[in-house]
């Protein structure tokens, strides 16, 4: 058996390469006998693959409304739990370290749903964008949007003809990151769009990250939307992992007494 029989497609073969072998041509041919399924097929070299991943990542960042400043500023490296302003009586740093570790793991293998839960200025968006950057760098198509901004884009799409394309994209993209869920105005239209979006990804087990200020109480806690967002919360085989981020508003650190 040829060592190339381990791979089912030329994409598998390309992904298995670890260094450039094309001498600038962009493609390579594998040395296989006549009649082999890879005979005569050009395989994208690792250098071309990496260029395509970088191009796709740049395009997706742009589509998410994130510029170069967000990519450079909000990274895992710059998220420092030790510098957070702790909440009295809570091991804030431990919670933030766990949230960071879990997001890093998700960026390598995006599975299930993560819910980053905390007040204003605790670093939820920072971690969400850092995860987005790593997902894109790792070749996973991912989309980031604040919920109010996304709803505004959808409304505008009715007028400029982009609604169907955007709606299809956010439902089906490999990984979806929704920032500030609950910050939108709870109109019937907005509530229905968010339910349809979350339900589609729930039914198809598509990975997702959600940031929110709090899990609702009262009647809202039993809505169809939150029922799906809380499925199997923090249980062994549950879909959702909730990551509390109990810290004071980092943006107000200049006026907080230590």
pLDDT, tens digit (0-9, with 9 covering 90-100), for 13-47: 555 555 667 777 777 777 777 777 777 777 777 77
Q: Note whether 152 and 42 are same-domain residues.
A: no
Within a domain: 147: yes
Could you give the percent of the chain with pLDDT greater than 90?
22
Higher-pLDDT residue of 134 and 256 is 134
Q: For the chain, give the number of residues.
A: 258
Per-residue pLDDT tens for 109-167?
999 999 999 888 888 999 999 999 999 888 888 889 889 888 988 998 888 888 898 89
Residue 217 has pLDDT above 80, yes or no: no
Q: Note whether 96 and 33 are same-domain residues.
A: no
Distance CA 135, CA 118 (A): 23
Per-residue pLDDT tens for 186-203?
688 888 898 899 999 988
Within a domain: 246: yes
Distance CA 86, CA 94 (A): 10
Host domain of residue 156: 75-252
pLDDT number for residue 256? 38
Per-residue pLDDT tens for 88-111?
788 989 999 999 999 999 999 999
Closest among 101, 124, 113 to 244, alpha carbons compared: 124
Greatest alpha-carbon span in the chain: 75
Question: Can you say how many angstroms the Cα of residue 189 is from the centroid of all Cα atoms in its chain?
Answer: 25
Within a domain: 115: yes
- The total number of structural domains that make up the chain: 2
Residues 51, 54, 60, 66, Cα dihedral to 10°: -150
Mean pLDDT across the stretch 55-66? 68
């Amino acid at each position: 058996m040829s060592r190339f029989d381990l791979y089912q497609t030329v994409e598998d073969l390309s992904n298995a390469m670890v260094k450039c072998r094309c001498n600038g041509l962009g493609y390579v041919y594998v040395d296989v006998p006549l009649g082999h399924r890879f005979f005569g097929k050009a395989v994208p070299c690792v250098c071309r693959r990496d260029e395509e991943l970088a191009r796709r990542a740049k395009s997706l960042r742009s589509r998410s409304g994130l510029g170069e400043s967000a990519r450079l500023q909000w990274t895992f490296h710059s998220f420092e739990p030790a510098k957070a302003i702790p909440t009295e009586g809570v091991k804030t740093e431990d919670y933030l370290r766990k949230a960071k570790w879990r997001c890093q793991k998700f960026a390598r293998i995006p599975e299930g749903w993560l819910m980053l839960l905390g007040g204003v200025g605790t670093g939820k968006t920072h971690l969400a964008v850092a995860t987005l950057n790593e997902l894109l760098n790792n070749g996973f198509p991912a989309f980031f949007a604040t919920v109010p901004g996304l709803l505004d884009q959808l409304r505008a799409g009715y007028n400029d003809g982009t609604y169907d394309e955007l709606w299809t994209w956010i439902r089906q993209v490999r990984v979806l990151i929704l920032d500030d869920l609950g910050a939108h105005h709870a109109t019937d239209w907005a509530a229905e769009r968010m339910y349809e979006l979350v339900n589609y990804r729930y039914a198809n087990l598509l990975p997702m990250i959600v940031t929110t200020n709090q899990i609702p109480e009262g009647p809202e806690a039993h809505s169809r939307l939150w029922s799906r967002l809380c499925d199997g919360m923090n249980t062994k085989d549950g879909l959702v992992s909730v990551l509390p981020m109990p810290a004071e508003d980092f943006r107000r650190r200049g006026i907080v007494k230590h």
